Amino acid sequence: VRAAVMRAENEPLVIEELTGGSLLGARQVLVQVDATGVCHSDLTILSGAVPLPPPMVLGHEGAGTVLDVGGLVTRVKPGDRVIGTFAPVCGDCWFCLHGEGQYCRNAMSVMLEYPWQQPDGTPVMSMSGLGTFAEQMVCHEWSLVPVESTLPAEQLALIGCGVATGVGAALNTAAVEPGSSVAVIGCGGVGQFVIQGARIAGAAQIIAIDPVEFKRDTAVGFGATDVLDPTGLDVPREVRKLTGRRGADYVFEVLGRSQTMLDAFKATRKGGTCTIVGMASNDDTVTFAANDLYAQGKRLLGCYYGGSQVRRDFQRYVDLAETGRLDIGGVITQRLPLSEVNDAFTAMKSGTAIRTVLTP
Ligand SMILES: [Zn+2]
Ligand SMILES: [Zn+2]
């Protein structure tokens, strides 16, 4: 199959012909990739900020159709529409049994498989056990969630990362209350879904903060009531001005940078909730004023995968989209063939795209 392979850090991906998909393990599934989104985390891996060894098929936000299954597979069958989860869930470990499947104990074992080979026999890993930048993927059944849906594949693809992370951050992690004030720092794909999640939860005020004008405009279309260009501004001060001098009830950081994490914490009102959604670089460190946690009672929440329980929530996000309460298609600003994957990264770096979707 054709796949976009990362051969080295910071080098363009190379379209290669890989083999191996016909040899399915007992719990493995062969999936035809119908669409895949290009997420900032793909760029984070490519840049080496979170080191993973090449060669690797990148891509972790995809949807497709099951072509074939190994002998012991029970969760999916050929013909099923499936969404990939970048956090595999075994269903039986302590975390899976406690409604925190995103931390599944057994996930790593299925993410370190090498399903493909290059023509010279070199084994190739798949990012997060998925590797969606390809015509097909071979993954463990724990990495797939079947859904009932008539949505186009490009929308199902985004549920696998952007929607689950962003909408989940608002609904699951922070549990935004109706009538509350919300500020979102970073209005890329995930940030736009945090904004929509806050709107779905019934927030009265949603402040969208991003230096790129068209991202702020997009945010208004998705429910933002105020916008801020943070360039040269003291963001916490501006947020307090917009929220009765208190700070926002809920602040979300969706960039993964220590400076904006600190801004998010400072922009949170006393007793409010600051949720860190962004994926940071491994060597970044953030320092908070210790007394803000005590005397100001601020709650600081980490957020992995939007707290989504994928086997419960993927269908929930599908249902919200099918009834028009969640706009997934509106976040897609560019559609490209798989062979032009490097152009998607260029657009991401220049801030001219919110979400690019690739089709094989
Ligand atoms: Zn992602
Ligand atoms: Zn588990």
Q: Which pLDDT score is estimated for 236?
A: 98
- Ramachandran area for residue 108 (φ above 0: left; ψ -120 to 50: alpha; else beta): alpha
Q: Is the pLDDT of residue 113 over 90?
A: no
Residue 22's pLDDT band (boundaries 50, 70, 90)?
confident
The number of C-alpha atoms within 13 Å of 221 and in the hemisphere containing its C-beta is: 13
Q: In this predicted structure, what is the pLDDT of residue 281?
A: 84
pLDDT at 351: 85
Q: Give the distance (Å) from ligand 1 centre to CA of residue 87.
A: 11
pLDDT in tens, 141-200: 999 999 999 999 999 999 999 999 999 999 999 999 999 999 999 999 999 999 999 999
Which ligand neighbours the alpha carbon of 158 most closely?
A: 1
pLDDT at position 215 = 96
Cα 43 to averaged position of ligand 1 atoms, centre (Å) = 10
What is the number of the ligand closest to the CA of 87?
A: 2
Ligand 1 ion local residues (Cβ < 5 A): 39, 41, 161
Beta bridge partners, 332, equal: 355
Q: By the 8 A CB rule, do 56 and 5 touch?
A: yes
Q: Determine the distance separating the centroid of ligand 2 and the alpha carbon of 142, expressed in angstroms.
A: 9
- pLDDT of 277 > 80? The answer is yes
* Alpha carbon of 169 to ligand 2 centroid (Å): 21
State the ligand closest to the CA atom of 190: 1
Q: Are 21 and 152 in contact (CB under 8 A)?
A: no
Looking at residue 330, its pLDDT comes to 96
Asked whether 292 and 148 are in contact (CB, 8 A), the reply is no
Give the phi and the psi of residue 230 in degrees, each rounded to 5: -75, -5
If you measure from the C-alpha of residue 286 to the centroid of ligand 1, how many angstroms do you get, rounded to a whole number? Answer: 22
Closest ligand, as measured to the CA of 109: 2
Side-chain-side CA neighbours of 126 within 13 Å: the count stands at: 33
Residue 248 pLDDT > 90, yes or no? yes
| Other beta carbons within 10 Å of 202 | 11
Structure tokens at 124: 């190739």
What pLDDT is recorded for position 23? 83
pLDDT band at 121 (very low <50, low <70, confident <90, very high): very high
Burial class of residue 135 in the structure, from the number of CB atoms within 10 Å of its CB (0-12 exposed, 13-18 middle, 19+ buried): middle
Per residue in 28-50, is it b (16+ CB within 10 Å) or e — as a string? bbbbbbbbbbbbbbbebbbeebe
- What separation in Å is there between the alpha carbon of 100 and the centre of ligand 2? 9
How many whole angstroms from 179 Cα to the centroid of ligand 2?
36
**In 145-234, alpha helices (H):** 153-158, 164-168, 189-201, 213-221
Overall average pLDDT of the 26-38 stretch = 97
- Which ligand places an atom closest to the C-alpha of 42? 1
Mean pLDDT, residues 187-215: 97
Compute, in angstroms, the gap from residue 101 CA to the centroid of ligand 2.
6
Average pLDDT rounded to a whole number, residues 224-234: 98
Q: How far apart are CA 278 and CA 158, in angstroms?
A: 16
CA of 25 to the centre of ligand 2 (A): 19
Q: Does residue 280 register a pLDDT over 90? A: no
